Amino acid sequence: MKIKIKNVLPALVIFSALATNVQAELAPIDDAELSNAVAQGGLYLSGEFSLNEEGGPIQDATYGDCTDDKRCGARFSYKLGGNDSNGWYVIDDWKGGLSFEGLTIRTRKVDGNQRDVTGQLVDNSGNPVSDAGAIALGVNDGFGGDGASFNKEVLEIGLPSSVKFDEYQYTLGYASHASPTEVPTGETFQQTNIYGVFIDGQVNMSGNMLIFPTADK
């Protein structure tokens, strides 16, 4: 697969915060106490991504004036296979920005028992319990009753609560060459646009994605 990218000025800023105020004295604990301890780690992410926010650097007869008064989009070209006569798939006039709030990444124990959002075993009232007091969900565990036999941790990616788009747009097409500026002498540039996308506003999201291990470690 060949890939070419032209006229891209990306800016990606990701902020993550995990703050904890702890005042405790370090002390050894035995194996019995350690086996009853439940710990959870994770990330809460917010970020912003923008393309050609201040105009692209290319300025010629093909792409036109890409100064501040005209925001020229980026062009992403790729082809499958090594035959140059196959043509290029392109994402053209790609520009705008998006930002998100609340993307989470954490581990989750899948064992067929009832747990709270931190992974602590709880009873039907949401009170923490030990292994002996765990509530087995059976076929209602969300995995067709297979959670107990799985009994492993998985990676849980929580969708951001909202995604904001700032005049985000692109056009998907098929072209004879990677870009109009890379046409050999005697050949002509041709491009067929398949569809275009323009989004300006906020999208509310919910749910999560679980990534399961493929082998025992």
d(CA 130, CA 152): 18
Residues in the chain: 217
Three-state secondary structure along the chain? Answer: CEEEEECCCEEEEEEECCCCCCCCCCCCCCHHHHHCCCCCCEEEEEEEEEECCCCCCCCECCCECCCCCCCCCEEEEEECCCCHHHCEEEEEEEEEEEEEEEEEEEEEEECCECECCCCCEECCCCCECCHHHCCECHHHCCCCCCHHHHCEEEEEEECCCEEEEEEEEEEEEEECCCCHHHCCCCCCCCEEEEEEEEEEEEEECCCEEEECCCCCC
Q: Residue 42: its pLDDT value, please?
A: 74
Q: Residue 99: its pLDDT value, please?
A: 92
In a domain, residue 64? The reply is: yes
Average pLDDT over residues 87-109: 88
In this predicted model, what pLDDT tens digit does every residue of 54-67 receive, in sequence order?
A: 555 454 444 555 55
In a domain, residue 50? The reply is: yes
Q: Residue 94: its pLDDT value, please?
A: 87
* Confidence grade of residue 83 (pLDDT, cut at 50, 70, 90): low
Average of per-residue pLDDT values in the chain: 76
Q: Residue 36: its pLDDT value, please?
A: 62
Query: Is a pLDDT exceeding 60 seen at residue 210?
Result: yes
Copy the structure tokens of residue 88.
Answer: 């290029």
Q: Residue 142: its pLDDT value, please?
A: 86
In a domain, residue 148? The reply is: no
In a domain, residue 31? The reply is: no
Query: Is a pLDDT exceeding 80 seen at residue 28?
Result: no
d(CA 188, CA 183): 7
Instruction: Specify whether the CB–CB gap between 20 and 44 falls below 8 A.
Output: no
* CB atoms near residue 186 (< 10 Å): 5
In a domain, residue 204? The reply is: yes
In a domain, residue 180? The reply is: yes
Domain that holds residue 193: 1-18+40-106+155-209
In a domain, residue 118? The reply is: no
Amino acid present at 155:
L
Instruction: Specify whether the CB–CB gap between 165 and 216 falls below 8 A.
Output: no
Lowest mean pLDDT among 11-15, 60-64, 113-117, 177-181: 11-15
Average pLDDT over residues 27-32: 70
In this predicted model, what pLDDT tens digit does every residue of 139-166 receive, in sequence order?
A: 888 888 898 899 988 998 988 888 999 9
Burial class (CB in 10 A: 0-12, 13-18, 19+), 152: middle
In this predicted model, what pLDDT tens digit does every residue of 160-176 receive, in sequence order?
A: 888 999 989 899 999 98
Average pLDDT over residues 78-97: 80
Amino acid present at 35:
S
Domain count, the chain: 1
Q: Residue 21: its pLDDT value, please?
A: 37
Higher pLDDT residue, 53 or 166?
A: 166
Q: Residue 11: its pLDDT value, please?
A: 34
